[in-house]
Amino acid sequence: MASETHKGTVSATPTPSAPPLEIGKNGVPVLPVRDTVLFPHAVLPLTVGRESSIQLINSLGEEKTILVVAQREARVDSPQPTDLFSIGTLATVHKVVKMPNQSLFVFTEGLSRAKLKEFTQLTPFLRAQVDPLEDHEPETSPELEALQRNVLTLFQQIVAGSPTLSDELQTVAINIEEPGRLVDFVASSLPFLSTRDKQEILETSDVHRRLLAINRHLAKELEVQQLRNKIQTEVQDQVQQSQREYYLREQMKAIQKELGEQDEAQRDVEELRQKIEAAGMPEEVKKEALKELGRLARMSPMAADYSVTRNYIEWLAVLPWAKSSGVEVNINKAHEVLEADHYDLRKVKDRILDYLSVRRLKPSMKGPILCFVGPPGVGKTSLGRSIARALERKFVRISLGGVHDEAEIRGHRRTYIGALPGQIIQGIRRAETNDPVFVLDEVDKLGRDFRGDPSSALLETLDPEQNFTFRDNYLDVPFDLSKVLFICTANMLDTIPEPLRDRMEIIELQGYTEDDKAHIAERYLVPRQIEENGLKPEQIEIPDDAVRFIIRHYTREAGVRNLERNIGTLCRKQARRLAEGKTEKLVVTREIVQEFLGGIKVRLDTEIAERTKRAGVAVGLAWTPAGGDVLFVEANKMKGKGGLPLLTGQIGQVMDESSKVAYSWVRSNADKLALPEDFFKDHDIHIHVPAGAIPKDGPSAGVTMATALVSLLTDKPVRPLTAMTGEITLSGNVLPVGGIKEKFLAAKRAGVKQVILPAENRLNVEEDLMPEQVEGVTIHYASHIEDVLNVALPRSREEEKKDEEVREEVLQHANA
């Protein structure tokens, strides 16, 4: 193994040109070198290890001149003449040092370029005839000078910009005057020039071209060097910046520690971790929570999504995964609580207790969901609250009215800005336990549109088959809702989405009679309002008479909400009086009611009396989600061309049709009613059902319309305080209708004394209405429209006279 490479620094000889060379006819020894080019005037230490080369050096006697030439291929171990470049450098060997590993360290100094001619010897080392090539320094010209100066400047810049090149090189270069020599010096000093580039420069004997070549290399190198420096500084800047931040942070920590303040964020993470540990989450959820916590710990609190991640973890941590409050259901106690909170509602309470008993026997029961249906203010929501109290569970309620976006139920994905869990999970969080009584109010007012169908999300929530793995979009981990007791409430059944209704146990709550309301007021509403308004029972008394006066003239409702509100108003007025120093007990009379609540608001009986003075007006009964109401049907006639009656008042298609049926029956019975023969030919009829804002539909106004028409055409006013409902056929038969209880109670509330119902509805009255509810009202059953007319219209002048008197009495009584 042999190698000749140059190591160590290069320097120019300050000595002037050597004496002319004497070369014998045998030529000079040729020393092949790898990866090295020796330039004239350069001193180069060569490591010589090749056997042939060692022999060459050892054979040197007085003769110290050799030819150093580069190999074309560094790999070749015993180069032949063809493996060498044809131009090398004549050199003097100054000194030889033996190295411990048998190789030699040879100091050579370049003398001049030389061209290889015939080889005179091949072994043990090469010898050849050479032809020295003297540098012909060209004539100076401005261009040459410019080039030379440029080379010098570039070289200086490179040396200055390089950390490895010695600054001395600059001084040496400045002192070289001959351009050819300068190039040789520069070329041999630059470590980045490849052997091939150097060899090319060596072979360029024309000095001008040599200058151009080195100039090109220098320019390129300078650019590379500048680029490298730029990158270097940038990297350094970055490193410095992050080091700076690191040090500042460390310092801050140290300061905080000194001041006794722990790292805020770190403490926060620690607290969250404790919450997670304490939350009793299922394994899967805990893993997710801890994963997110790990992420949070690595984030800077300044990062944009720090708070997003933190919120999420907080949500997971605070949910009651394992916290229940329910104790075993004690049916007797539950019964007591329900009784204590609500008046009557016997059937409803029984059904609730049945339901709870089954749950008690079979806690894992996947029972139906309870749904309370009834008019406003009859106690649906407050029953829910009462059940929670009876079971010693937490109570939460949400309203589904107007919810039309699935996300409101089930939340938005966390990727949304400002995303939150849906109402269900929010409710659970508020409950702080996983088994609350959860009331979903107004399921019948659930919307549905392009944003998705909330009812299917709701179904998933309520369905015991699915809800033990309820998945909120935000949480994205399952939550077990199976211990929650869901109760829905609604005003009407019709608009509850079918699949939901199927899974519900419907419990109907009906409107209250005046007596019911008076009892509820006395036992619940008055004491509650007295307390809520900070009064003492001995400071105010609202006797039964005043309560009934309020019920009759200040409310028009199936429930007791407005009644309670008015009682509250009375209590507040008394509180005000007490505050003003009037300390005597207030006993509320009708006069005080009028003074405190303002003039009478609702006067249905007088309205009926007033309106039915005129022939052509009949009182009908309607079922509404609010629990039934009275409604007026007005008919009028005018000269015209005949034809179908005009119908107004927001009337649905079914009601429209039944008006035509009524009209046809009246027309076909014109002679029985003693109408002029061609009356319908030149008279137009208009039927109007006022209170146009309430949409009305259904067939049950049929008898009322027929009655109004007959009253109009016979010019006899309908008897006072009489109301009716029923469907009519073309042949005049009266068919049964729905909502009898609500309609009847509405009529009674309005002060009606006679109610005409279809004969086939008799069973409804007997089953749904209690005797005391019917008290004070006469019910007439009709199977034909003539039965209706017999009751509804006066049959003689005397009766008509008497009716007028009754009406007057009602109106006067009201004014009194």
Ligand X SMILES: Nc1ncnc2c1ncn2[C@@H]1O[C@H](COP(=O)(O)OP(=O)(O)OP(=O)(O)O)[C@@H](O)[C@H]1O
Beta carbon nearer to ligand X, 561 or 802: 561
Beta carbon nearer to Mg ion, 215 or 381: 381
- The two tokens of residue 55 are 């022999």
376 binds, among Mg ion, ligand X, none (CB under 5 to 8 A by kind): ligand X
- The two tokens of residue 552 are 């009759």
Residues in the chain: 816
Residue nearest to ligand X (CB): 379
Beta-bridge mates of residue 684: 638
Beta carbon nearer to ligand X, 317 or 560: 560
- Beta strands 42-48 and 11-12, pairing class: antiparallel
**For this structure, is 582 an active site residue?**
no
Measure the CA–CA gap between 744 and 630, rounded to whole angstroms. 9
89 binds, among ligand X, Mg ion, none (CB under 5 to 8 A by kind): none
- Beta strands 126-133 and 65-70, pairing class: unpaired
Contacts of residue 158, Cβ cutoff 8 Å, sequence gap at least 6: 165, 190, 218, 221, 222, 225
| Cβ at position 348, least distance to ligand X in Å | 9
| Cβ at position 793, least distance to ligand X in Å | 39
Beta carbon nearer to ligand X, 374 or 758: 374
Residues numbered 773-812 forming contacts with ligand X, rule: CB under 6 A: none
Measure the CA–CA gap between 25 and 323, rounded to whole angstroms. 111
- Show the CA angle centred on residue 676, arms to residues 672 and 680, nearest 5°: 95
User: Measuring CA to CA, which residue among 510, 408, 464 is closest to residue 770?
Assistant: 510
Residues numbered 293-352 forming contacts with ligand X, rule: CB under 6 A: 342-345
User: Measuring CA to CA, which residue among 497, 365, 334, 473 is closest to residue 415?
Assistant: 473
**For this structure, is 743 an active site residue?**
yes
Catalytic residue among 52, 188, 658, 700: 700
Assess 491 for contact with Mg ion (CB under 5 A).
no
- Show the CA angle centred on residue 742, arms to residues 738 and 743, nearest 5°: 75
Beta carbon nearer to Mg ion, 381 or 386: 381
Beta carbon nearer to ligand X, 380 or 414: 380
At 778, phi and psi to the nearest 5?
Answer: -90, 130
Q: How far is CA 665 from the centre of its chain?
A: 61
Beta carbon nearer to Mg ion, 436 or 702: 436
Return the residue of 376, 447, 452, 640 that touches ligand X, per CB under 6 A: 376
455 binds, among Mg ion, ligand X, none (CB under 5 to 8 A by kind): none
Assess 71 for contact with Mg ion (CB under 5 A).
no
Measure the CA–CA gap between 89 and 114, rounded to whole angstroms. 6
Task: Give me the 489-528 binding string for ligand X, x by CB under 6 A, dash otherwise.
Answer: x-x----------------------------x---x----
Contacts of residue 102, Cβ cutoff 8 Å, sequence gap at least 6: 49, 54
At 621, phi and psi to the nearest 5?
Answer: -125, 135
Q: How far is CA 341 from the centre of its chain?
A: 40
Contacts of residue 787, Cβ cutoff 8 Å, sequence gap at least 6: 734, 756, 759, 780, 781
44-57: string of b/e by CB count within 10 Å (b at 16+)?
Answer: bbbbbbbebbbebb
**Burial of 96: CB neighbours in 10 Å, binned 0-12, 13-18, 19+:** middle
127 binds, among Mg ion, ligand X, none (CB under 5 to 8 A by kind): none
| Cβ at position 391, least distance to ligand X in Å | 17
378 binds, among ligand X, Mg ion, none (CB under 5 to 8 A by kind): ligand X
326 binds, among Mg ion, ligand X, none (CB under 5 to 8 A by kind): none
Catalytic residue among 349, 394, 743, 748: 743
CA distances from 403 to 400, 451, 456 (A): 5, 10, 13
Beta carbon nearer to Mg ion, 279 or 443: 443
377 binds, among ligand X, Mg ion, none (CB under 5 to 8 A by kind): ligand X
| Cβ at position 742, least distance to ligand X in Å | 14
- Beta strands 754-758 and 722-724, pairing class: parallel
Residue 422 contacts residue 411 (beta carbons within 8 Å) = yes
Assess 379 for contact with ligand X (CB under 6 A).
yes
Task: Give me the 543-572 binding string for ligand X, x by CB under 6 A, dash otherwise.
Answer: ----------------xxx--x--------
Contacts of residue 220, Cβ cutoff 8 Å, sequence gap at least 6: none
Beta carbon nearer to Mg ion, 103 or 489: 489
Distinct helix (H) and strand (E) counts, the chain: 29, 25
- How many Cβ atoms are within 10 Å of 163's Cβ, its own excluded? 6
Task: Give me the 417-456 binding string for Mg ion, x by CB under 5 A, dash otherwise.
Answer: ------------------------x---------------
Beta carbon nearer to ligand X, 513 or 606: 513
649 binds, among Mg ion, ligand X, none (CB under 5 to 8 A by kind): none
Residues numbered 342-361 forming contacts with ligand X, rule: CB under 6 A: 342-345
Which window, 51-59, 376-384, 475-483, 734-742, contacts ligand X (CB under 6 A)? 376-384
| Cβ at position 396, least distance to ligand X in Å | 15
470 binds, among ligand X, Mg ion, none (CB under 5 to 8 A by kind): none
| Cβ at position 751, least distance to ligand X in Å | 23
- The two tokens of residue 67 are 């030819």
560 binds, among Mg ion, ligand X, none (CB under 5 to 8 A by kind): ligand X
SS3 sequence of 316-336: HHHCCCCCCCCCCCCHHHHHH
Which window, 78-86, 369-377, 603-611, 807-815, contacts ligand X (CB under 6 A)? 369-377
Return the residue of 170, 382, 650, 783 that touches ligand X, per CB under 6 A: 382
- How many Cβ atoms are within 10 Å of 592's Cβ, its own excluded? 16
At 94, phi and psi to the nearest 5?
Answer: -90, -40
Assess 377 for contact with ligand X (CB under 6 A).
yes
Residue 474 contacts residue 411 (beta carbons within 8 Å) = yes
Residue 793 contacts residue 714 (beta carbons within 8 Å) = yes
Assess 381 for contact with Mg ion (CB under 5 A).
yes
491 binds, among Mg ion, ligand X, none (CB under 5 to 8 A by kind): ligand X
Assess 387 for contact with ligand X (CB under 6 A).
no
| Cβ at position 439, least distance to ligand X in Å | 9
Beta carbon nearer to Mg ion, 109 or 564: 564
Q: Which residues bind Mg ion (CB under 5 A)?
A: 381, 441
Q: Which residues bind ligand X (CB under 6 A)?
A: 342-345, 374, 376-382, 441, 489, 491, 520, 524, 559-561, 564
User: Which active-site residues does the annotation give?
Assistant: 700, 743
